[in-house]
Amino acid sequence: MAKKNDYIEKIEKRLDELIPIKYPQKIYDSMRYSVLAGGKRLRPMMCLEACKMFNGNVENALDVACAIEMLHTQSLIHDDLPCMDNDDYRRGKLTNHKKFDEATAVLAGDALLSFAPNIILHARNLSENTKLSVLDEFFKAAGVDGIISGQIVDLDSENKKINRETLDYLHTYKTAALFKFALKAGAIIAGAEKSDLNKMEELGQNFGMAFQICDDILDEISTFEEMGKTLGKDKNANKQTYVTIYGLEYSKNEVSCLLNKCCDIIGEKSEILNSIINEIRDKINC
C-alpha cells in the first residue's frame, strides 16, 4: 500500500526534473524557488490517490499531479503579491516577490500558468482524449470559472460585510476548485465512470470547504512556526471568515460535518485520504 511519504518523494523528484535550469536563468530560478519550496503537496497527492482508488496506474498520473502543484504554486505566488494579499512569507520562506522582485514574481506565476498545461499535453502514457479531458478540467479550475473568480470575490470582500452565500462562493472557487480538479483528474486518468467523477467533485467540494475553514481557524489559534505564513492578515484586512462571523466552535463543527461527508464518500477505499482528513481533525480538535 502506498504511503504519503512515497507519494511526496515521487512528486518532489518529478517536479525537480520537470522544471529545468536554463537561460534566462532568473525566471527558472524564480519558478523553482516557489515550486520546490516544500509544502504538504495535498493536491498532487490526492490526484495520485484518486487514480489508485479507481485502479489506475499511479505513474501515469504523476506528471498531471505535478502540473496541478504548479498551478497551485502559481496561485500562491500571485496571491502573495502586494496588489493582492501582500504577504512576506509562504511555507516558512520569503514570498517570491520578496526573494526576487515583484515583476519577476508576476512573470514566474504567468510562466507556471502556461508551463503546467504543456506538461499535461506531453504527459506520458495518456491517450489524447484523456489529456483533453484533464486539460478541460485544468482550464476551468485555473480560469474565471475557478480560482480567478474566487480571488476577485476575496479582494472585493475586504472591509465589507458579506453573507454566507458569498463566503461559500469564495471558498468554493478560491480553494475547493483545485481539490476538485485534482481528484477528478486522477479519476479521469484511471478511466472512472461519470458517476465516480461526480463523487470526486463532491469530495473535492466538501474537502475544500473544510480545508479553508480549518485554515481560517488556524489563522486565529496557530503560530507562524506551525503555519509558515503571516497570521491575522484576514482580520487586519477586515475580511470576514466563518470564524469572524460564526465563532470558533461553530466553525469547528462545520469542519467536522464537512469531513464526515468526505468520509462517507471515501469509505474504506483510501487509507491515505482518510489519514489526511484525520490530520485536519487533529489540528483543530474537531
| Cα 34 from chain centre | 14
| Mean pLDDT, the chain, whole residue set | 93
- State the Cα–Cα distance between residues 96 and 99, nearest whole angstrom: 5
Provide, rounded to the nearest whole percent, the portion of the chain with pLDDT above 70: 93
- State the Cα–Cα distance between residues 246 and 161, nearest whole angstrom: 13
Which one, of 94, 4, 77, lies nearest residue 35 by Cα? 77
Rounded mean pLDDT of 166-190?
97
CA 215, 216, 217, 221 dihedral sign is positive
Q: Domain of 168: which CATH number?
A: 1.10.600.10
Q: Which amino acid is at 28?
A: Y
| Per-residue pLDDT at 97 exceeds 70 | yes
- State the Cα–Cα distance between residues 261 and 23, nearest whole angstrom: 48
Report CA dihedral (258, 35, 88, 280) to the nearest 10 degrees. Answer: 20
| Per-residue pLDDT at 140 exceeds 50 | yes
Helix (H) or strand (E) holding 277: helix 271-284
Domain assignment of residue 55, given as a range: 4-284
| Per-residue pLDDT at 258 exceeds 90 | yes
Phi-psi region of 158 (alpha: psi -120 to 50; beta: other; left: phi over 0): beta
The set of cell numbers assigned to 233 is: 492578515
pLDDT higher at 237 or 23: 23
Res 1: pLDDT? 47
Model confidence at 160, pLDDT cuts 50, 70, 90, reads confident
Q: How many domains does the chain contain in total?
A: 1
Res 250: pLDDT? 94
